[in-house]
Amino acid sequence: MSLNRFLKISVSATAVLTAGAASADVTAMDVWAKLKEQVGSAAEITVGSESMSGNTLTLSDIVFAASDAETTATVDLGELILTENGDGTVTMDPADLITVTVSQIGSEDADRVVVLIASTGATTVISGTLDEMAYQSRADRYTFTIDEVLEDGVEVPVDLLINLNNFVADQTMMTGPETLSGEFSFTADSLDMLLGGDDDGVIFNLSSQIGNLMGGGRVTAPAGDTSKMSEAEIIERTVLDFNYSAGTSATVLSSIEEGLETLITTSAELTNFTFSFDKDHIGIGGGAGNYKFALSGGEVPFPLDAQLSLLGYEFRMPISKTEEPAPFTAAINLTDLAPNDMIWMMADPMGAMPHDPVTAQIDISGTMTLFEDLATLSDENSGMVEMDTPAEVNSVTLNNLFISALGATLSGTGSFELDNTDLTTFAGMPRPMGSLNLEGKGLNGLIDRLSAMGMIPEEQLTGARFMMGMFATVIGDDHLSSTVEVNAEGHVIINGQRIQ
């Protein structure tokens, strides 16, 4: 199913499920007409009956259906009741049970997944205008279960139960001449999940709980009949921004294979996730605090566990053909990784190394030029197969490098411009121009310990110390620094000494 169809159905179905606003009157018929308009360009809509009695519009046997070359998806909303409140707002009460079916075209009775969505205390108050409707939604609980999974006509043994508790959402839907857009925010007290099944003889069970969920974002998708639009036109009008955070979370996964049980447990605090996409870029980021992991049983000879004070990551890059260099970012942060003694025993059986927590942080940014639109790239229509590379990097900045492990630290910053027209000075690589500053502490002590463990042969120890002395400046007790420069002529200079 295409991205645009998925967006339209998701935005509109979310309004039915969950559903600052403009101050004007809407009627029950207005709300129903807008819902049909929003879904109609991406899916077929069938309705068993429509009945208006007084201030209440009752719709029965509502089904949304959409398909592509391989898959058909239907959403059976059942009954939907829209009640005019007399103050310019409409209350929407969905059916207690909604059925979602995804099947393979041509083998609907052999390859199929059926998901049930049950709600308790779900209601939505709608206000605004025809062009900008606001939905204020509440539900005591949404429950998601798998009713059926068929693969090649054989039922797959899998059970799923998800409870989303005390859910609150606010959403604004805006319709323009070319786009359908929505802004939303939500909170939930908790999400509880149970998943179990049998995968080719491996019996698995997973339980998870997440507390204090909240998030929000915006979605924009093309309006009108997208079947007549090219993929490039659809992407041109598509915008996705999403953010999510949660409090404490815990997960337990057990699996049994050939009589051996393996147990994995994880927990974290203050997790977060972000995602963004438009015609020019894609970005993803997130992290977690106080992450804990434990593994035992199965073929693991002894329990393994580790803790991580902070996990963070960020990635952002252009995806459209660029006339000028466009920015990119890549970063990862692993702070205070602390394996248990069993893991250290495998890595350092002699106990020669300090077992302090390990930290690894790297933050890189820069600019790059794309020669093709990556979002619509394909061998058939881009000619990309005849190109050497779809992109070139124009500049790189090391904003932060910090590694702390085994009693030593290494830190650094730097920046380089890259000349992609010169691929000869550095043997096929773009010629850099800029500098890199490095600083190390405890490196000599680390070399001594590695040598004592036999990891650095005695005959190589002198050479290692010679190289450090040649390319580093002593600024304290086992405290070294080094500056690497590459000038416009391609000369490599380390601490003022030219080596190339």
Centre a 10 Å sphere on the Cβ of residue 421 and count the other Cβ atoms it contains: 9
pLDDT value for 206: 97
Q: Taking the alpha carbons of 339, 342, 343, 344 in that order, is the dihedral positive or negative?
A: positive
pLDDT value for 21: 37
Q: Taking the alpha carbons of 107, 95, 171, 190 in that order, is the dihedral positive or negative?
A: negative
Q: Which of 169-183, 368-382, 428-442 has the highest mean pLDDT?
A: 428-442
Who contacts 90 (Cβ-Cβ below 8 Å, separation ≥6)? 26, 27, 28, 30, 31, 82, 83, 84, 125, 126, 127
pLDDT single digits (tens) 142-170: 999 999 999 888 899 999 999 999 999 99
The CA distance from 172 to 162, in Å, is 26
**Phi and psi of 304, rounded to 5°?**
-120, 135
Residue 251 has pLDDT above 90, yes or no: yes
Token representation of residue 105: 């075209």
Q: For residue 2, give the amino acid letter.
A: S
Residue whose tokens read 């960020």: 314
CA–CA–CA angle 150, 155, 161 (5° rounding): 85
- Between 393 and 227, residue with greater pLDDT: 393
pLDDT single digits (tens) 267-318: 999 999 999 999 999 999 999 999 999 999 988 888 999 999 999 999 999 9
pLDDT value for 148: 94
* Confidence band of 245 (pLDDT split at 50, 70, 90): very high
Q: Which of 13-27, 229-243, 251-265 has the highest mean pLDDT?
A: 251-265
* Contact between residue 211 and residue 247 where contact means Cβ atoms under 8 Å apart: yes
DSSP string, 107-131: -TTTSEEEEEEEEES-EEEEEE-SS
- Between 14 and 489, residue with greater pLDDT: 489
Please give the helix or strand (H or E) that residue 351 lies within, else none.
none
pLDDT value for 137: 96
Q: Is 323 left (phi over 0), alpha (psi -120 to 50) or beta?
A: alpha
The CA distance from 61 to 31, in Å, is 17
Residue 388 has pLDDT above 80, yes or no: no
pLDDT value for 379: 42
- Between 158 and 200, residue with greater pLDDT: 158
Alpha-carbon distances of 191 from 67, 164, 223, 417, rounded to whole Å: 30, 5, 33, 48
Centre a 10 Å sphere on the Cβ of residue 326 and count the other Cβ atoms it contains: 20
Residue 434 has pLDDT above 50, yes or no: yes
Q: Dihedral through CA 283, CA 288, CA 292, CA 294, nearest 10?
A: -20
* Confidence band of 193 (pLDDT split at 50, 70, 90): very high
- Between 471 and 88, residue with greater pLDDT: 88
Mean pLDDT of 387-410: 91
- Between 7 and 93, residue with greater pLDDT: 93
pLDDT value for 350: 82
Residue 382 has pLDDT above 50, yes or no: no
The CA distance from 475 to 403, in Å, is 19
* Confidence band of 365 (pLDDT split at 50, 70, 90): very high
Q: Helix %, strand %, coil % for the chain, to 5?
A: 15, 60, 25
Write down the mean pLDDT value for the chain. Answer: 88
